[in-house]
């Protein structure tokens, strides 16, 4: 299979419609405040507010629990009313959640704040992906998701630099300022949605009632084998990946590897820098190739990364532990993320009919929310009970599960859905 021609950032932006450029313009600013709080929320709950590690991990899981609950209704609302109003509702909840968390001195207040953040987490992913899919089409769509992910990490990276230098567990007010700053950054995309993109509803026309899938429910969609395997892969990716970013990774780094909060923050910065610098290179390498194989590569890299991270617990507080923590999050994990984000969202949206895009993205989001529920609770329980070796072993076994799921999914989808261009497929057939 020949490799498609490389596409630079300038060419990509020139090819985007005006609405696509506006959507990208808000990403970095919105995530700037998120980067200031992302690595430190569980540390804030445990070391500043005094909640025990198990409770802190459970509270972190509320984000995903609430997100999971609201994702299904969000998908239905997206298909019926459009993605834009759903995104706006989520942004309001995020602002309220961050303000509450900034002053959340009790588990009840912290839990309420995290529930509000969970609403935004549950609706933003399916709504944003569905909105993008109505604006950007074809090969450009897969590249959009990759660039969007790079910009997300640029914002998180810059925020992480600020947070790592500014936040201090001995000065609780620094956490308060960080959460308030995060709330402020959510107002930017809200203004864009109310201004330049007020005409964009993100709703596809419904097919005639007698056409196939015209009124497909969640139950009907979930009976499809390819969707089931997509969900399995999503749950595992989230449990091993994003479900650990705010819980298992910082907790293991602090409690087992015994590195400082500055090292944790710096690891996030390196992670974001690698993603930003490598995303276009990765996109140009995976374009036109089977997305399931890209997910298999993600699993392989992550398995190695977890082994490296686990080894830091053997040399706590040492330079080797610092290097291992940074290498895990900053290099190996980051490379796997760039591969995953270049494949998984595009796989979901190419599988989905236009009028059901909200539901398909909601199912995708729910699978990741499920993993985000399992991840913090699992990490908090195992680490609190001195089972760090079991924790690392489960992460590696989960990576093997991703490989198995991707292989099963590949047998059930068409080459086009799997990211193989028709011209390239015909070229391969002709060469045989």
* Domain spans, the chain: 27-197+218-431
Quick check: 425 pLDDT over 70? no
Residue 335, CA distances (Å) to 278, 324, 394 in order: 8, 15, 21
Find, among 159, 162, 158, 157, the residue nearest to 334 by Cα: 157
Six-digit token pair at 97? 């959640």
Mean pLDDT of the chain: 83
Quick check: 320 pLDDT over 70? yes
Lowest mean pLDDT among 202-211, 261-270, 291-300, 316-325: 202-211
What are the tens digits of pLDDT across the range 124-134? 888 888 888 78
* pLDDT: which is higher, 266 or 28: 266
Q: How confident is the model at residue 426 (pLDDT cuts 50, 70, 90)?
A: very low
Q: How far apart are CA 126 and CA 124, in angstroms?
A: 6
Say what the pTM is.
0.74
Quick check: 56 pLDDT over 80? yes
Mean pLDDT of 350-373: 82
Mean pLDDT of 167-192: 88
User: Hey, what's the torsion of the CAs at 337, 124, 207, 145, to 10 degrees?
Assistant: -30
Q: How far apart are CA 267 and CA 272, in angstroms?
A: 9
Contact between 415 and 312 under an 8 Å Cβ cutoff? The reply is no
**Class (C level, CATH) for 27-197+218-431:** mainly alpha
Q: What percent of the chain has pLDDT over 90?
A: 24
Q: How confident is the model at residue 300 (pLDDT cuts 50, 70, 90)?
A: very high
pLDDT of residue 422: 61
Greatest C-alpha distance within the chain = 67
pLDDT of residue 90: 92
């Amino acid at each position: 299979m020949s490799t498609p021609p490389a596409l630079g950032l300038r060419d990509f932006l020139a090819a985007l419609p005006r609405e696509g450029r506006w959507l990208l313009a808000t990403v970095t600013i919105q995530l700037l405040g998120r980067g200031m709080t992302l690595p430190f929320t569980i540390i804030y709950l445990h070391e500043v507010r005094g909640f025990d590690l198990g409770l802190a991990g459970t509270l972190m899981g509320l984000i995903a629990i609430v997100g999971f609950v609201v994702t299904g209704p969000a998908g239905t609302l997206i298909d019926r009313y459009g993605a834009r109003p759903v995104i706006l509702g989520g942004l309001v909840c995020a602002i309220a959640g961050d303000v509450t968390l900034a002053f959340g001195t009790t588990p009840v207040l912290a839990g309420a704040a995290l529930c509000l953040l969970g609403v935004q987490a549950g609706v933003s992913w399916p709504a944003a992906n569905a909105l993008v899919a109505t604006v950007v089409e074809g090969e450009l769509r897969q590249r959009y998701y990759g660039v969007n992910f790079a910009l997300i990490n640029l914002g998180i990276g810059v925020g992480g630099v600020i947070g790592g230098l500014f936040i201090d567990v001995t000065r609780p007010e620094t956490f308060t300022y960080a959460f308030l700053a995060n709330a402020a950054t959510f107002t930017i995309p809200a203004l864009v949605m109310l201004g330049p993109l007020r005409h964009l509803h993100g709703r596809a026309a419904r097919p005639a009632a007698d056409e196939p899938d015209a009124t497909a429910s969640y139950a009907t969609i979930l009976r499809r084998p390819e969707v089931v395997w997509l969900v399995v892969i999503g749950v595992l990716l989230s449990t091993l990946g994003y479900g650990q970013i705010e819980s298992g990774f910082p907790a293991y780094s602090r409690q087992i590897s015994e590195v400082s909060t500055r090292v944790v923050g710096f690891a996030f910065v390196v992670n974001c820098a690698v993603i930003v610098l490598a995303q276009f290179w990765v996109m140009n390498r995976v374009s036109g190739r089977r997305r399931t194989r890209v997910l298999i590569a993600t699993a392989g890299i992550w398995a190695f990364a977890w082994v490296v991270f686990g080894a830091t617990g053997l040399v706590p507080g040492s330079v080797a532990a610092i290097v291992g923590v940074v290498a895990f999050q900053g290099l190996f994990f980051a490379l796997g993320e760039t591969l995953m984000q270049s494949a998984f969202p595009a796989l979901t949206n190419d599988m989905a009919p236009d009028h059901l895009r909200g539901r398909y993205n909601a199912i995708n989001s729910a699978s990741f929310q499920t993993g985000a529920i399992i991840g913090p609770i699992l990490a908090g329980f195992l680490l609190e009970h001195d089972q760090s070796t079991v924790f690392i072993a489960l992460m590696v076994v989960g990576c093997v599960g991703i490989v198995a799921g991707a292989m099963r999914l590949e047998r059930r989808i068409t080459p086009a859905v799997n990211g193989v261009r028709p011209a390239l497929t015909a070229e391969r057939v002709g060469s045989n």
